[in-house]
Chains A and B, each alone.
Chain A
């Protein structure tokens, strides 16, 4: 891992890939992860590119894979993760994979279909058996006992020709929630010319498609009359009932049904065994195939970004590659093209565009670099704020968190995660919340560690203070010297210790905040003032650090004028106003004591008056001639503002004008510099973000307005960068540090005072 101070040097590399070896070369480069391809066919739509057929084949395969994956998941099985090294397969293997997958998919579809059909059949048989098995005996008994009179009408019809009055039966099964409705409808429609008995099955049957158990109601309807029969059939059709033929000689029928259903269950068992075999083969085949096809698709997409040379013998690719990796790149190309007997070439070409930013990180620095990149990825070879963020981000968190006990818990939790990070169980966890915590384990570790330290300084352990050293405030001295007898104490509920009294204040607590403050009712007055001033000091220090980091940028890009026109004014403005505020704070801490506390100067009023150029008579100065000094500082700082805004643009304008006045000299230089005819195939990006070093080689034909606009863009971008650097380094507005630090303690204090 190189230094993280600034991003690495990245070069534009042109690759010449002979068509025979193009696929292997790109696949090899993909495995190594050395390059980023630039799209040379940006003007061509995705459907007109060279390798679109292959990409489409891969996508169809992926569709089949999705189907197989769904089937596996439906069966409740889990796909094992792919193991081992799986490079993209050569194109001729794609056919084999395709065939195998298609065959598996077809088999799976067939088996599933068969299984469905069998289950439906089984369900029917089971229903039939159940219907027959139900003893609707009273009805049958009633019909049997009459014996011969079975065929005689039960009612003596008043006359007229009658239909066939034999008793007929309809037997079937209906879903339980429809049964009452069916019964009512039958009664109303057939006007009593039927006898229906409904009975529920003892055990539920599984629905063939959904697998849910349902208890069916079987019914036996005895009726007479053909028309009634038709009505009944229509009604039962409506209700989607299953109707089975009903005969009195049940026994043989039932035995036959039993046998049939047993056979069917055997066949079903066989089918399901075969299905699990197929699924097993899918489990074996699918994961590596998915990885391989995805890689193959990626290779073809990369190849689509290359352009064809005029002789159609090789592909030209333009890639960004780290300068350090160039030898490795050339070796990889040599190796992979040697197999085909051709040779691929890579050489570096100059580029006008800004290369991408590459910062190599390890697992520790990766999370901090991620935080910094979330605010904005730095420009090419700009100073990287991440190494400083490793400490300042957890430190500023700890300033707000500041508790020994809670910090220790956080530290131990993060330590557990860090020590167990290589266990496979950790990486395989699916829970997103856990993944978030696990990804930030090093951040949590540092935050916990710093929180323990700031907790000691704030003197808070689970929001309670501890006396590691004896307190610096003596209550007894105050009591003795002010005559605080027990009677006096009983009369007054609140009394204040006065540091003016001898022996009351014995010196500052050596490590942190004195524990007496946790017992005081006015602890917030002291702590608020302390934390606000602390936030200001920390904030100013951070911002000054950010401005100083900018110096490295200006030196590296050769823009020394910015040192004078930007860094100096920025530092003057920052330190002249807010650095002076820090000075006032520290001066007051050191020089103003309790002797004249009543007339102690207020820094806030002084600071406000400084900007308003006014004077408060009740506020005494901190040092002689303070107003003069302050006036000078404000004028100086305000004078820096136009320098900041106009300095660099005017300087660049001046330089541009100076260049235009010598046109002849420049033309020759231009020809010599750009001797190669447009080395890059895709070079004229109208990027505003050109690397500063190329400034001097720009075309001199630009209109004045353009220069102004461009330099203004370049002016605001560094401000952006500064803002981002500063916001990275002091990622919380410094004013909110105080209240957040105070707020930590309040809830527990409230809770304990209940």
Chain B
């Protein structure tokens, strides 16, 4: 059983490289094309299990909230409420970005996995994959 190395935050490039190398190489062949369950014949769309990168969401969301919090204030029209609007933009960006960041960091290196009922396991195994 191969073990994953923990994800780390260093420079962006090194991070990307390490992400790619740290990801499992998809394990045994049967995971590449999971065996189709009985539901596939019914044409029900199934979400496939895919590897999630860490770098891409970080880049996307940092850019998004950075645009709102840092670039946004420059575009607020002059008026009596300019100060309040800029404060609101920056505070929103900081709060929402921090909240999302905490959520993704908490799931980066899980120490334990979900405990599922046997029915759920059977269902998920044959319907989701």
Contact = CB atoms under 8 A, between A and B. Distances in A.
Contacts of B16: none
Contacts of B87: 387-388, 390-391
Interface string A245-286: 000000000000000000000000000000000000000000
Nearest to A391: B91
B112 A496 contact: yes
B55 to A, nearest CB: 10
A357 to B, nearest CB: 18
Interface in B88-116: 88, 91-92, 95-96, 98-100, 102-116
Nearest to A489: B118
Interface of A: 1-5, 362, 365, 387-388, 390-392, 395, 399, 450, 453-454, 457, 467, 469-481, 484, 486, 489-490, 492-514, 516-517, 519-523, 525-526, 529-530, 533-534, 537-538, 541, 586, 589-595, 597, 600
Contacts of B106: 529-530, 533-534, 589
Contact of A511 (B57, B118, B122): B57
A103 B59 CA distance: 81
Contact of B52 (A390, A453, A510): A510
A616 B80 CA distance: 59
Contact of A501 (B1, B100, B112, B115): B1
B88 A591 contact: no
B114 A516 contact: yes
A92 B47 CA distance: 85
Nearest to A494: B115
A510 B57 contact: yes
A503 to B, nearest CB: 4
Contacts of B118: 489-490, 492-495
B94 to A, nearest CB: 8
A541 B102 CA distance: 13
Given A589-B106, A590-B105, A1 B81 contact: yes
Contacts of A454: 99
Contact of B121 (A457, A475, A514): A475
B104 A365 contact: no
Interface in B25-60: 26-28, 30-31, 34, 47-54, 56-57
A480 B105 contact: no
Contacts of A519: 114, 116, 120, 124
5 contacts: A390-B87, A503-B31, A506-B23, A508-B52, A594-B4
Contact of A390 (B84, B108, B109, B111): B84
Contact of B49 (A392, A498, A506, A589): A506
Nearest to A488: B118
B12 interface: no
B71 interface: no
A459 B129 CA distance: 21
B112 to A, nearest CB: 6
Contact of B88 (A391, A474, A492): A391
A241 to B, nearest CB: 77
B106 to A, nearest CB: 5
A558 to B, nearest CB: 23
Contact of A477 (B31, B95, B105, B116): B31
A479 B107 contact: no
Given A475-B125, A508-B108, A510-B104, A470 B24 contact: no
Given A454-B99, A470-B49, A502 B56 contact: no
B17 interface: no
Contacts of B27: 477, 481, 502-503
Contacts of B100: 457, 511-512
Nearest to B113: A497
Given A510-B57, A511-B100, A594 B111 contact: yes
B52 A506 contact: yes
Given A1-B80, A503-B27, A507-B53, A591 B8 contact: yes
Contacts of A472: 51-52, 107
A380 B73 CA distance: 28
Contacts of B47: 467, 470-471
Contacts of A495: 115-116, 118, 121
B125 A521 contact: no
Given A390-B91, A470-B50, A493-B118, 13 more contacts: A1-B80, A391-B92, A395-B92, A453-B99, A477-B27, A481-B27, A493-B117, A494-B116, A496-B116, A497-B113, A509-B52, A530-B106, A591-B6
